[in-house]
Amino acid sequence: MKLVIKNMVSVRCKLIVKSELEHLNIHFTILELGEVEVEDELSAQQRDALAARLLKSGLELLEDRKSILIEKIKNIVIEMIHYSEDPPVQNFSVFLSKKLHYDYNYLSTLFSEVKGTTIGNFIIAHKIERAKELLVYNELSLTQIAEKLHYSSVSHLSNQFKKVTGLTPSFFKQMKNKRLIALEDL
């Protein structure tokens, strides 16, 4: 049985979910961002107990199909940009449609209605947040960051960075109070 969990966007969230599952003696086979595959069907009591425990940590067990689909879209974007070593895919609409087995227009419309932003803008926000993170770490050049995030050029990254943050990447890198936004707040 597959469970979808809202706001499960980091390794820390996965650890929290794992701990709660173990506490409730719920056995699982797969634990990924936003999803858990449990071995057996959960009773209503187990489901309610898990939902209550997750809610205390800011996580939410999702039930309805549309919310689950939105969460899957978010988790695919987060996984691709923040945790994958491969560069983000160029044609995300085709990738997303194949992965979720839905027409991209339906996914895009649903996402925009529920989240109040387009999937494209959501991807850009995460790419810029990842760029900020990489700038703070100071391990890669701006050229390497642009390549890693699959930008066509450094100027494309710089223009998008300035449009989103109001700052150039160079100025952001020089700032003393570099503030990153938590992934669940994007």
For residue 122, the domain's CATH number is 1.10.10.60
Q: What is the DSSP letter of 12?
A: H
- The answer to whether the beta carbons of residues 148 and 82 sit under 8 Å apart is no
Residues 59 and 71 in one domain: no
Distance (Å, rounded) from C-alpha 48 to C-alpha 172?
A: 45
- Does one domain contain both 52 and 91? no
25 and 100 co-located in one domain: no
Q: Is the pLDDT of residue 180 over 70?
A: no
Residue 75 in contact with residue 119, Cβ under 8 Å? no
Looking at the predicted structure, is the pLDDT value of residue 163 above 80?
A: yes
Specify the residue for token string 């003393």. 176
Domain shared by 10 and 78, yes or no: no
Which of the four pLDDT bands, split at 50, 70 and 90, describes residue 89? low
| 21 and 47 within one domain | yes
Domain that holds residue 184: 65-186
Residues 71 and 143 in one domain: yes
Q: What is the token pair recorded at 24? A: 């409730």
If you average pLDDT over every residue of the chain, what do you get? Answer: 90
77 and 39, same structural domain? no
- pLDDT digit string, tens, across residues 24-46: 999 999 999 899 999 999 999 99
Average pLDDT over residues 44-72: 94
CATH number at residue 44: 3.30.70.100
Report pTM: 0.78
User: For residue 102, what pLDDT is reported?
Assistant: 95
CA-CA distance, 117 to 111, in Å (whole number)? 7
* Same domain, yes or no: 111 and 94: yes
Query: In terms of DSSP H, where are the helices of 9-91?
Result: 11-23, 44-56, 65-78
Q: In whole angstroms, what is the distance from residue 85 CA to residue 87 CA?
A: 6
Q: Which structure tokens are listed for 57?
A: 């940590």
Using 50, 70 and 90 to split pLDDT, how confident is the model at 178? low
- Tally the domains of the chain: 2
Instruction: Give the end of a domain, one of 63, 80, 104.
Output: 63
